[in-house]
Amino acid sequence: MKAKSIEHIGIAVENLEESIVYYTEVLGLTCYAIEEVADQKVRTAFFKIGNTKIELLESTDPNGPIGKFIDKKGPGIHHIAFAVEKVQEALNEAQAKGVQLIDKQARLGAENLKIGFLHPKSTGGVLTEFCGEE
Ligand code: ZN
């Protein structure tokens, strides 16, 4: 397995609409999608920048992963997503190399992409997502 690129950077925010203003007004980016991912208890906003994206994440439930994260650490960078060819294979391969997985099974994330998370304990403290079309 070889990570192809940084697919996106996930940033936890307290308020999606307020945060979008910074990315559009200060950085001059365009928000091209706002999407709720019920499974992860978040609303997301996406911006393209070069070949990668910024994904803003607002919690829809204080007990969801982003709600808990903001509670503990406050808003800020939440995860880095690497584009991979096949998400399930990449997860299996990482696990075989001793990486602790959050998702043993690839699941559907925002933008209809397959995703799976690796545990930050195994990745130097960086919550890591694999992301791909398969
Ligand atoms: Zn993500």
Cα 4 to averaged position of ligand 1 atoms, centre (Å): 15
CA distance 134 to 132: 6
Question: In the numeric block, which tokens belong to residue 24?
Answer: 């559009």
pLDDT of res. 61: 94
CA of 25 to the centre of ligand 1 (A): 23
pLDDT at 111: 82
Cβ pair 116, 88 in contact under 8 A: yes
If you measure from the C-alpha of residue 104 to the centroid of ligand 1, how many angstroms do you get, rounded to a whole number? 16
**Rounded to the nearest whole angstrom, what is the distance from the C-alpha of residue 8 to the centroid of ligand 1?**
6
Structure confidence at residue 110 (pLDDT): 81
CA angle 101, 130, 104 (to 5 degrees): 30
CA of 99 to the centre of ligand 1 (A): 19
- Residue 126's pLDDT is 96
pLDDT of residue 19: 97
Domain count along the chain:
1
Query: Residue 117 C-alpha to ligand 1 middle, in angstroms?
Result: 9
Identify the domain containing residue 17 by its residue range: 5-132
Question: Ligand 1 center to residue 81 CA distance, Å?
Answer: 6
| Residue 56 bridge partners (DSSP) | 11, 45
Ranges of residues in the chain with a pLDDT under 70 are: none
C-beta separation of 80 from 128 below 8 A: yes
5 CA distance to ligand 1 centroid (A)?
Answer: 13
The CATH number for 92's domain is 3.10.180.10
Distance separating alpha carbons of residues 105 and 129, to the nearest angstrom: 12
Q: What's the pTM value of the predicted model, to 2 decimals?
A: 0.92
Q: What pLDDT is recorded for position 95?
A: 98
